[in-house]
Amino acid sequence: MELADSELLIRITELSGENLRSCYQCGKCSASCPMTDFMDLFPRDVIKQILEGKEQVLLSETPWVCASCFSCTVRCPNEIDIAGVMEAVRQIRLREKYDRFHPSRIPLDELEGLPQIALIGCFRKMTG
Amino acid sequence: MKSITYFPGCTHHTNGRNMESSGKAVLETLGYQLEEMPEWICCGTVFGLSEDDLFHQVAPIRNLARVENAGDDKLVTMCAMCYNTLGRANLLVRKDKVALEALNRFMDDEPDYHGVVDVFHLSQFLRDEVGFEKISSKVRRPLKGLKVMPYYGCLLLRPEEVSIDSMEDPTIICDILEAVGVQSIKGSYISQCCGSYHTVDKKEAVARRAFEIISSARKKGAEMIALACPLCEFNLDDRQRLLSDNGMPVLYFTELLALAFGLEDSCDFDEHYVDPRPLLREKGLLGGSNGQE
């Protein structure tokens, strides 16, 4: 029996343009990810929870730890742009006026040494 | 001297100025003058990945429209992130005419963009336009005996549509460095992410990435890392200050070319956290030690 797509899956599919239903949970994304030590869910689990319509996935740390390095994306045997799926999760939160990070959290003595490329990249990914 | 249009991006004028100054000097020796494109703005830094997020394509396409309007069809950048963001936005609008039209309408104060500009990273330009033979012909001091691990990071290689080389087995920076006598070391972590912009919000995670990448380079026998991105440079070099086991010099590959061409004045080694000069002196690669200066 095919379950109907949840609202969450529909929204993520619209935002990412990806067909998550082609995921067969091989875990290659998670094996390729250099940031899993800092994640609460493996990338594969994020995909699984979205497929199951579990809205709690929107509160996961994982999409905010993803650095959009595209290791998962280029290795997925089903050509799912997993980095794009992570961005879709972030976008859902950011479009609710949620800011993951605020510039005031950068200690002043560190701010001066940080390259612009890091600051702008961070704010583009982490603020709404 | 041929002129090429250059997109500096935010960081090669500031924290990453060593790559710009050495890259410029190297290109001049090879017969190319970098002309900074007029009125450039931020490239957008990170490519927008959402289907409906055209807004994040405005910055890169505005730059490309300005290049096209100035009559150019080629844009060279030294920054891996600028390369990736400009390059992907360009491919997007070449494929998606509706998106291009929407962007052109939105930027009604700019002349329209038609998708004619090709975006190059400097390393591609050196491989494809200049060629390794020409690079070798300008060497005044071969960098013999220097064991260097080229580090590629993510955005020069992924995703495939913008990859400058093989995604899993890149050789482009090795090949360029070997043309000036460097002994390149192939590491296992050369295309693993440095942690990118998380250096702002998760610097410990980035220091951990730096530790893993540098440890792998050491295990393979590398004495130095050479790279092509100002964010990778900060993360692998400056973040070593958070590590107890530090001291791996991290240079832009253009600085090594400059050194080989006798242009060491174009590199300000004080800009690096780990000073590469003790190693370079030990190898007889600084100053007039080999009598050729």
Amino acid at B195: G
pLDDT for res B292: 42
Residue B163 has pLDDT above 70, yes or no: yes
Share of chain B above pLDDT 90, in %: 97
Query: Number of Cβ pairs closer than 8 Å across A and B?
Result: 131
Q: What's the ipTM?
A: 0.95
Name the closest residue on chain A to residue B53, using Cα atoms.
A15
Residue A91 has pLDDT above 80, yes or no: yes
Amino acid at A62: T
Structure tokens, B276: 């590469």
Specify the residue for token string 């890392």.
Answer: B225
What is the Cα–Cα distance from B161 to B180, expressed in whole angstroms? Answer: 29
Residue B43 φ/ψ, nearest 5 degrees? -75, -15
Confidence of residue A1 (pLDDT cuts 50, 70, 90): low
pLDDT for res A2: 60
Does A91 contact chain B (CB < 8 Å)?
Answer: yes
End-to-end CA distance of chain B: 24
Amino acid at B79: C
Q: Rounded to an integer, what is the distance from CA B130 to the centroid of its chain? A: 16
B86 CA: distance to closest CA in chain A (Å): 14
| Pairing, β B74-77 against β B183-184 | unpaired
Interchain contact, B45 vs A124, CB within 8 Å: yes
Question: Please, are residues B195 and A67 in contact by the beta-carbon 8 Å criterion?
Answer: yes
3-state secondary structure of A67: coil
For all residues of chain B together, what is the average pLDDT? 96
Confidence of residue B290 (pLDDT cuts 50, 70, 90): very low
Kindly state the helix (H) or strand (E) to which residue B166 belongs, with its residue range.
none
pLDDT one-digit tens code per residue, B81-94: 999 999 999 999 99
Specify the residue for token string 């100054």.
Answer: B21
| Pairing, β B2-7 against β B74-77 | parallel
Buried b (16+ CB within 10 A) or exposed e, A16-26: bebebeebeee
What is the Cα–Cα distance from B105 to B90, expressed in whole angstroms? Answer: 17
Average pLDDT over residues B175-196: 96
Does A34 contact chain B (CB < 8 Å)?
Answer: yes
Confidence of residue B293 (pLDDT cuts 50, 70, 90): very low
Specify the residue for token string 């799926």.
Answer: A85
The shortest CB-CB distance from A69 to any of B160, B196, B234 is to B196
Interchain contact, A121 vs B44, CB within 8 Å: no
What is the Cα–Cα distance from A18 to A84, expressed in whole angstroms? Answer: 8
Confidence of residue A117 (pLDDT cuts 50, 70, 90): very high
Average pLDDT over residues B174-187: 96
pLDDT for res B99: 97
Question: Please, are residues B126 and B31 in contact by the beta-carbon 8 Å criterion?
Answer: no
The shortest CB-CB distance from A74 to any of B167, B193, B199 is to B167
What is the Cα–Cα distance from B143 to B146, expressed in whole angstroms? Answer: 6
pLDDT for res B245: 82
Helix runs in chain B, H state only: 17-29, 58-69, 80-95, 97-106, 122-124, 132-137, 172-178, 198-201, 203-219, 230-237, 253-260, 277-282
Average pLDDT over residues B55-71: 97
Which pTM was predicted?
0.96
Interchain contact, A118 vs B231, CB within 8 Å: yes
What is the Cα–Cα distance from B236 to B211, expressed in whole angstroms? Answer: 8
Using only C-alpha atoms, chain A has a radius of gyration, in whole angstroms, of 16
Q: Which domains does chain B have, with CATH numbers?
A: 2-122 (1.20.1050.140), 140-283 (3.40.50.11810)
The shortest CB-CB distance from A120 to any of B10, B50, B52 is to B10
Q: Going edge to edge, which strands form the sheet with B250-252?
A: B183-184, B147-150, B224-227, B250-252
pLDDT one-digit tens code per residue, B142-154: 999 999 999 999 9
**Prior bond to A63 cis, omega within 30?**
no
Interchain contact, A113 vs B238, CB within 8 Å: yes
pLDDT for res B288: 60
Residue A13 has pLDDT above 50, yes or no: yes
B12 CA: distance to closest CA in chain A (Å): 10
Confidence of residue A3 (pLDDT cuts 50, 70, 90): low
Q: Going edge to edge, which strands form the sheet with B2-7?
A: B32-36, B2-7, B74-77, B118-121
What is the Cα–Cα distance from B39 to B162, expressed in whole angstroms? Answer: 25
| Residue A18 CB partners (closer than 8 Å, separation 6+) | A12, A80, A81, A84, A85
Average pLDDT over residues A60-77: 98
Judging contacts by C-beta atoms under 8 Å, the chain B residues touching residue A113 are 15, 238
Amino acid at B157: L
Residue B187 has pLDDT above 50, yes or no: yes
Structure tokens, B144: 């013999």
Average pLDDT over residues B205-223: 97
B269 CA: distance to closest CA in chain A (Å): 16
Beta strands in chain A (DSSP E): none
Interchain contact, A105 vs B201, CB within 8 Å: yes
Average pLDDT over residues B274-289: 90
Residue A99 has pLDDT above 60, yes or no: yes
Confidence of residue B291 (pLDDT cuts 50, 70, 90): very low
Interchain contact, A121 vs B51, CB within 8 Å: no
